[in-house]
């Protein structure tokens, strides 16, 4: 971290200054860029949450790539319709809609087939 300094001394100084670090377990980190055209995906990330002077920050390292942003094929209204019609949770409704590329009828039929 700081060349020539003992790791324990650095940790003690950070503690004295009220700096806390915590590892965050993550499989993937996605940063959606403004403009909606692309996103940065960090695979196998090493994520550290740092709390300092009331400010929360994240440090991210890993293998990254920029790719076109994946567009969502359904909206909140579609999710609500599937929840009401199939009597399932929001997560189940979203999963079904994603599986059938946003087709409402197909999502409801898929859920009904699984429950039978």
Q: What residue ranges do the domains of the chain occupy?
A: 21-68, 76-115
Residues 26, 46: Cα–Cα separation, whole Å: 8
What separation in angstroms does the CA of 27 have from each of 20, 43, 46, 60, 63?
Answer: 22, 7, 9, 12, 12
In this predicted structure, the answer to whether residue 102 has a pLDDT above a threshold of 90 is no
pLDDT digits (tens, 9 = 90+) for 56-74: 999 999 999 999 887 777 8
pLDDT tens sequence across 7-25: 888 888 888 888 898 999 9
**CATH code of the domain occupying 21-68:** 2.20.70.30
Angle at 57 between CA 56 and CA 59, to 5 degrees: 150
Q: What is the pLDDT of residue 63?
A: 95
CB 83 within 8 A of CB 93: yes
Q: What is this structure's pTM? A: 0.54
């Amino acid at each position: 971290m700081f060349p020539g300094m003992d790791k324990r001394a650095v940790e003690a100084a950070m503690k004295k200054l009220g700096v806390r670090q915590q590892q965050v377990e993550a499989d993937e980190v996605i940063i959606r860029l403004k403009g909606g055209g692309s996103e940065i995906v960090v695979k196998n990330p090493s994520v550290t949450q740092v709390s300092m002077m009331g400010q929360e920050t994240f440090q991210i390292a890993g293998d990254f790539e920029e790719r076109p942003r994946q567009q969502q094929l359904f909206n909140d209204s579609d999710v609500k319709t599937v929840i009401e019609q199939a009597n399932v949770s929001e997560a189940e409704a979203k999963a079904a809609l994603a599986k059938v590329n946003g087709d409402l009828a197909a999502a409801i039929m898929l859920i009904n087939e699984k429950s039978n």
